[in-house]
Amino acid sequence: MKLVLEYGKWYVTSESNSVVKYHVFWSEIIGRWTCECPDWRYRKVCTKEDCKHIDFMMGILENVIAGQAKETKKHV
């Protein structure tokens, strides 16, 4: 999977087909990350679980935040 930024929106590619991309975004309406993949729309939204695309994006964000924290500590 890859994280792709297109026209100001974040997408995560499908694991099985790299041409297919799913929009992953924060929804103010329901107060959580959402994904346009069928798994999230038809199963995960009801169980309040995240799909693998949201998990993938969150993993990248956590790594970026951790890296920024390390850089900040170096300059203090």
User: pLDDT value at position 41?
Assistant: 92
Which CA distances in Å does 51 have to 2, 3, 23, 41, 55? 15, 14, 12, 9, 6
Return the H-helix or E-strand segment holding 60. Answer: helix 52-74
Domain definitions of the chain by residue range: 3-74
Nearest to 46 by CA among 34, 29, 59, 58: 34
Examine the pLDDT at 69 and tell me if it is beyond 80: no
Mean pLDDT (whole number) for 51-73: 83
Please answer whether residues 22 and 35 qualify as being in contact, where contact means their C-beta atoms are separated by less than 8 angstroms.
yes
pLDDT at 70: 64
Instruction: Please answer whether residues 41 and 55 qualify as being in contact, where contact means their C-beta atoms are separated by less than 8 angstroms.
Output: no
Instruction: For 7-57, write each residue's pLDDT tens digit.
Output: 999 999 999 998 999 999 999 998 999 999 999 999 988 888 999 999 999
